[in-house]
Each structure stands twice: as C-alpha cells, then as structure tokens.
C-alpha cells in the first residue's frame, strides 16, 4: 500500500517513537492527524520539536474515551496505534492506569476502527511481553511472560487487538519493537539516563542492574519497520518483531557510550533503579527473520552509529535542559 495522500491517524504522536513516526509518515506524503494526550496547556509533547508541526493536524484527546476514538477515526485510512503507558517502574505503583490506557484504550481504537471501516491498523506491542528469553534469538512464537504489570497490560492489549482480526476481520498487524533509542527518548530509559548524566558533568553514574542484555534499535529504523508493515498486505493478521538481531549487555552499552563521549565516569548501582528480582527481564535478543521475509526490512544503522547520533542530539544545550538529570525518572 502506497502511503502517499492516505489519511493517517497516529495515536501517541506526542511521544518519543510517535513523533519520529509522524515526521516519517509526513515525508511519505501522507495526510496526518496526530493525537496528543489532552492537557490544559495545549502542550503537544515531542511534536513541538518536529519539522512538520505546521503541516499536520494536532488532536488533543484521550484513547480512554470510546466516543472520542470513534470521532477521530472517521475518514481515516490507516491507524498507527502507539498511545500507551510504557514506564515499567510506574506500573508497579499504578497498575490500574495501565489497564485503562493500554487495554481499554486499545479496545476503543479497535472498535472505532471496525465501526469506521479502517483499511489498516498497526498496533504497537513491545518485546517486554516475551519476558526473559527462554531461547534466543526470540521469534514471534516465543512464550509470553508477564513479568511486570506493564508487560501484562501489553499482552492483554495485543491479544485483544488480535481478537478483532480473528473475530471481525479487522485488517490489523501487531508490530513488536525491541528496545528503541534515539533523540527525544525519556530519561526513564537506560541509554538517555547514561548520556544525560555524562553530558551534565556527573562524576558518578547511577543505574540499576547492568547485567541484562537488550536488542537496541535506532528510532528511525523502528519507525521504518512500522511503515514497511503498513505497506505490506501479507502482514495483515500477523505479529511481527522489529529488531536488529544483535544482543548487548547494559554494561557493555555503558562502556561504549563512555568511550564515544570520552568519559571516565564511575558506575554506582542504585537500589531504587532496580526492578524486583523476578520482574527483571534478563535477556532480549530479536529474531527479525519474519519482518525481513515479509518486507525486506533490515536496520540501517549499527548501534555505534546510532549512539553517535543520539549523543550529538542530547549534548545540545537546548535538548539537555529538558531533562531533570538529578531526579530518578520512573
């Protein structure tokens, strides 16, 4: 499916991945409606930093309202559903809000898409649904393991979304990205946490457990995966990983960033930054064979090159000042 001149709704467009995806879809020639969570300040999150802000339609609302969801999906061709609560530590203290947003919100979007006869829905999952790898690399048949209220809510959302395809033939694809990083990412994630502490001149860096491994992907590669899936009719009804098929520990990632930033910062393990023992996902390594076979997608940037771009962005004073480096961000 060619995306040029298509009417596209991006939920969660004000977030990290959503803002980059909005820009890329705009560059594909699509007509964009970008949903930003309602607030009384008319603040549009990271959309404020996009180059296409004046050429897209900003919507202010909440996916928890089914009537609003039905209203904003009228005359839409494709929905990219990214709106979600994603912070794992916050899900330990406010799990009910994750059910409302991630599960009920997904229900509202799927029902609205069905009622308004949307041509394609790309629903966003997460590699966290796999939990600690039982085998590697992790393909789409790997068992799902809810090791946090967040991952449990995303498993529920994924299953609900897929039920709309199975029961009602909603033309839906579940995109399951592994760990995405890049400019605009929240400091709740490990790579921005490391970079911002070094860039602000800290002598000691505070992190949680640095032994787990992750499959990191630069944000524009993740977004390109979303777009390729939307163009691929064979992906309808499928769950598809988006990842690099490259595994690295948090410890080695820290060392790589230190080298790229010429830093000798010392690592300190901080208890509040650690997950409960059985909740920590120890190993994530993506098998990206399926998306490559379906679309030809391969990541374009190595971790080293992606980190260089990310560091360059964070080091700019106008970007770094947006982060509260002295506060642990849940």
Compute the distance between CA of residue 89 and CA of residue 273 in angstroms, rounded to an integer: 8
Please, what are the domains in the chain? 7-180+217-242 (3.40.50.720), 186-214+246-285+302-320 (3.90.25.10)
Length of the chain: 330
Q: What is the DSSP letter of 298?
A: -
DSSP 103: I
- Name the packing angle between helices 149-168 and 105-115 (round to 10°): 20
Ordered per-residue pLDDT tens for the chain, 330 residues:
899 999 999 999 999 999 999 999 999 999 999 999 999 999 999 999 999 999 999 999 999 999 999 999 999 999 999 999 999 999 999 999 999 999 999 999 999 999 999 999 999 999 999 999 999 999 999 999 999 999 999 999 999 999 999 999 999 999 999 999 999 999 889 999 999 999 999 999 889 999 999 999 999 999 999 999 999 999 999 999 999 999 999 999 999 999 999 999 999 988 888 889 899 999 999 999 999 999 999 999 999 999 999 999 999 999 999 999 888 777
């Amino acid at each position: 499916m060619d995306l040029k001149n298509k009417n596209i709704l991006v939920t969660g467009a004000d977030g990290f991945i959503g803002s980059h995806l909005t820009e890329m879809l705009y560059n594909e020639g699509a007509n964009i409606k970008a949903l930003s969570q309602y607030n009384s300040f008319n603040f549009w999150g990271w959309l404020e930093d996009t180059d296409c802000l004046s050429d897209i339609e900003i919507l202010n609302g909440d996916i928890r309202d089914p009537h609003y969801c039905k209203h904003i999906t009228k005359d839409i061709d494709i929905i990219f559903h990214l709106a979600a609560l994603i912070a794992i530590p916050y899900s330990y203290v406010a799990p009910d809000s994750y059910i409302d947003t991630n599960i009920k919100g997904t229900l509202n979007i799927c029902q609205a898409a069905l009622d308004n006869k949307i041509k394609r829905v790309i629903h966003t999952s997460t590699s966290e649904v796999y939990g600690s790898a039982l085998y590697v690399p992790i393909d789409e048949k790997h068992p799902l393991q809810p090791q946090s209220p967040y991952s449990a809510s995303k498993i529920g959302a994924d299953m609900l979304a897929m039920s709309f395809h199975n029961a009602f033939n909603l033309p839906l694809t579940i995109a399951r990205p592994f760990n995405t990083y890049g400019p605009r990412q929240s400091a709740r994630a490990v790579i921005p946490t490391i970079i911002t502490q070094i860039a602000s001149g800290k002598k000691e860096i505070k992190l949680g457990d640095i032994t787990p491994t992750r499959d990191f992907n630069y944000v524009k590669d993740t977004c390109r995966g979303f777009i390729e899936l939307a163009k691929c009719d064979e992906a309808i009804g499928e769950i598809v990983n988006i990842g690099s098929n490259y595994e690295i520990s948090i410890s080695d990632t820290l060392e790589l960033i230190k080298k790229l930033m010429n830093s000798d910062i010392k690592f300190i393990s901080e208890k509040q930054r650690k997950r409960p023992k059985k909740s920590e996902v120890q190993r994530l390594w993506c098998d990206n064979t399926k998306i490559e076979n379906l679309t030809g997608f391969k990541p374009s940037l190595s971790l080293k090159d992606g980190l260089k771009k990310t560091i360059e962005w964070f080091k700019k004073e106008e970007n770094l000042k947006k982060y509260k480096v002295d506060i642990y961000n849940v």
